[in-house]
């Protein structure tokens, strides 16, 4: 050792600090979330709909690669297992969320679940369209008004899927955004105006489809204005995750789905 080296005795050693262990940051529930690469909204909206201490939302992204079309949405299926592995791979998740409404309709909820199970056998899986359909059925809603931000091509998939689930579509309206970036830029007030307009048609409930829409701040106001239940993609996801994980308690302020649970 050269003479200039610091004598070992003068370097303080690493002291071993006392440590115990608790149940970690998510003693109530851990939810894994796969969101679209372009989604600017779902991560924060889901947290807003689940303001519950001890609940963790762990997210990662899946490549959509540009504009959402039936083809690009379907192509995500092949990526689901590899991204599912990235969320706490050695840990048990209470619910695994595939966070794309139109993608779930295009691929099909059963195939989404099968793809997740390739990487995470046995984990409960949810997606916005299955969650929303369950929520609408809980309200006994048969005639649905639909509000989406999608292109005509995706709207055709969505309309067919909702009808195939046994719902009548009383009215349907769309912002017809050209891509995922635009969907994130639809102002909440525009969702309010459009939601009230669609919800005032001859329907039992309003479904606002798309995890990329900023609906959390206007759900309650739309419900109050139309006097009917409002179900949105992210609100239904939060509701489905909480009930599947056995987390009880009302979440007021975001419509009767979360308030009356």
Partner 1 sequence: MAVGGQHSGLCDDWRTLNCKLDDGPAPRAAIGLITLSTDNVIEGEVLSFLPAEGVALYRSRIPAAAKNTPEGLAAMAPQIGGVAAMLLPDDHLDVIAFGCTSGAMVIGPAGVAAAIHTARPGVAVSNPVSAALDGLRALGAKRIALLTPYPDRTNAVVGDYVAGQGFEILAKGSFKQAGGPVIARIPPEDVYEAGVALGGTAGVDALFVSCTALRVASVLQRIEDRIGRPVVASNQALAWDCLRRAGVGDAVPNAGRLFSL
| Closest CA relative to residue 36, chosen from 70, 83, 71 | 83
Cβ proximity to partner 1: between 3 and 14 the closer is 14
Location of structure tokens 């489809």: 209
- The whole-angstrom separation of Cα 173 and Cα 175 is 7
Cβ proximity to partner 1: between 108 and 173 the closer is 173
CB atoms within 10 A of CB 228: 17
**Closest distance to partner 1 from the beta carbon of 55 (Å):** 10
Cβ proximity to partner 1: between 11 and 140 the closer is 11
228 binds partner 1 (CB under 8 A): no
245 binds partner 1 (CB under 8 A): no
18 binds partner 1 (CB under 8 A): yes
12 binds partner 1 (CB under 8 A): yes
Number of residues that bind partner 1 (CB under 8 A): 69
Cβ proximity to partner 1: between 189 and 260 the closer is 189
CA–CA–CA angle 198, 109, 229 (5° rounding): 30
According to CB under 8 A, which residues from 94 to 133 bind partner 1?
A: none
| Closest CA relative to residue 102, chosen from 169, 49, 155 | 155
DSSP 24-42: -S-SSEEEEEEEETT-SSH
202 binds partner 1 (CB under 8 A): no
Buried b vs exposed e over 6-31: b needs ≥16 C-beta within 10 Å? eeeeeeeeeeeeeeeeeeeebebbbb
**Closest distance to partner 1 from the beta carbon of 44 (Å):** 6
Residue count of the chain, please give it: 261
**Could you tell me which stretch among 96-104, 119-127, 165-173, 236-244 binds partner 1 (CB under 8 A)?**
165-173
CA distances 2 to 7, 10, 13, 89, Å, are 10, 16, 21, 46
**Could you tell me which stretch among 42-50, 69-77, 238-246, 253-261 binds partner 1 (CB under 8 A)?**
42-50
- The whole-angstrom separation of Cα 222 and Cα 225 is 5
CA–CA–CA angle 137, 219, 173 (5° rounding): 75
**Could you tell me which stretch among 107-115, 122-130, 132-140, 191-199 binds partner 1 (CB under 8 A)?**
191-199
47 binds partner 1 (CB under 8 A): yes
243 binds partner 1 (CB under 8 A): no
71 binds partner 1 (CB under 8 A): no
- The whole-angstrom separation of Cα 70 and Cα 101 is 12
200 binds partner 1 (CB under 8 A): no
86 binds partner 1 (CB under 8 A): yes
Which residues, including other chains, have CB under 8 Å from residue 122's CB and lie 6 or more apart? none
In the complex, which residues of this chain contact partner 1 (CB under 8 A)? 12-26, 30, 37-38, 40-41, 43-44, 47, 56-63, 65-66, 83, 85-91, 147, 152-153, 155-156, 159, 171-182, 184-187, 190, 193-194, 197-198, 214
């Amino acid at each position: 050792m050269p003479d200039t080296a610091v004598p070992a005795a003068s370097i303080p050693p690493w002291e071993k600090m006392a440590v115990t262990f608790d149940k970690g940051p998510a003693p109530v529930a851990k939810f894994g979330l796969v969101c679209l690469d372009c989604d600017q909204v779902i991560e924060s909206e889901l947290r807003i709909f689940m303001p519950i201490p001890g609940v963790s939302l762990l997210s990662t992204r899946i490549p959509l690669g540009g504009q959402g079309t039936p083809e690009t949405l379907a192509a995500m299926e092949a990526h689901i297992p590899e991204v599912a592995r990235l969320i706490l791979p050695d840990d048990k998740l209470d619910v695994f969320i595939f966070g794309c409404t139109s993608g779930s309709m295009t691929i099909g909820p059963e195939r989404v679940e099968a793809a997740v199970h390739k990487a995470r056998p046995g984990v409960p899986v949810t997606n916005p369209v299955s969650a929303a359909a369950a929520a609408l059925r809980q309200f006994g809603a048969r005639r649905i008004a639909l509000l989406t931000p999608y292109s005509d091509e995706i709207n055709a998939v969505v309309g067919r899927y909702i009808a195939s689930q046994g719902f009548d579509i009383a009215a349907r309206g769309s912002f017809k955004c050209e891509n995922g970036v635009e969907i994130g830029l639809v102002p909440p007030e525009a969702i309010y105006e459009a939601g009230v307009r669609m919800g005032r048609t001859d329907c039992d409930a309003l479904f606002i489809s798309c995890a990329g829409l900023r609906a959390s701040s206007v759900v309650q106001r739309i419900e109050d204005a139309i006097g009917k239940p409002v179900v949105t993609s992210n609100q239904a996801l939060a509701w489905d995750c909480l009930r599947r994980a056995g987390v009880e308690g009302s979440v007021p302020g975001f419509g009767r789905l979360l308030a009356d649970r």
